[in-house]
Amino acid sequence: MASPPIAFVAAKTKEAEAARKMLARLYPHVAPARAKILVALGGDGFMLEALRGTIDRDVAVYGMNRGSVGFLMNEFRPRGLMERLARAERVKLRPLEMTAVTVRGRERRALAINEVSLLRMRHQTANLRIVVNGVRRLDRLVCDGVLIASSAGSTAYNLSAFGPIIPIGARLLALTPISPFRPRRWRGALLPASSTIEFRVIEPEKRPVAAVADAFEVRDVARVVVRETRRHHCTIMFDPEHNLEERILREQFMP
């Protein structure tokens, strides 16, 4: 049985580009637009970028780490790639869907692979109300911002904001505050992936807030709803021996 056509894509670093050229000499490949498997060379950020480009396409992304952390990447080994691709396990990811309504009543929609974040736009803190599945859970969060991260995105902005790392396939979302002031001791929540999370901006004209779905920004929002979409997907590939769960545990106990 013929192997599916593969393409190599690399982050804009010397290490990643050198790896792409090496693999291109070793294996037959096609242009990314014709590939069924994208071999992404870089770090987690580049993997998420590659995944965003394959939403709703019949393309899977297999990452090899040429970055720093590489939670979502497999080990870089030039030899035996076709055998590794044939053995790799596939995991379907569901992006987050953001619906944002501005203070002028305009509705904007966007998809995010890693997170949807709400961020203050001025020197004053944001004041946000949080509603989960129609139930008011937090009446007023005073903060620099807040984010909802998927499992794939939990090792990105969410981790830097001291949010939890979520194993791929755990069917959970991380709700993580960014520099919370009140409630002082609230550190966020883990929510079922089926949850609908609504953020209502208190005093949106006095304390303006922007909503960002990955790189898509909507400014001056009054209300933002986030849920995991069931209509869209992308696919990530892992080596069977890629023990992501062990790496996640190890990271959480690092000093």
- Catalytic positions, please? 44
∠ Cα 32 10 62 (to 5°): 70
* φ and ψ at residue 229, rounded to 5 degrees: -80, 145
Residue identified by tokens 């480009």 is 53
The pair of three-digit structure tokens given for residue 46, joined into one six-digit string: 């580049």
> Sign of dihedral through CA atoms 218, 227, 113, 61?
negative
The pair of three-digit structure tokens given for residue 111, joined into one six-digit string: 């998809």
Backbone torsion region of residue 6, taken as left when φ is above 0, otherwise alpha when ψ lies between -120 and 50, otherwise beta: beta
Judged by DSSP in three states, 51 sits in helix
CB 130 within 8 A of CB 137: yes
**Centroid of chain to Cα 5:** 26
Q: Measure CA of the first residue to CA of the last residue in the chain; give whole Å.
A: 48
- Please compute Rg for the chain using Cα positions: 20
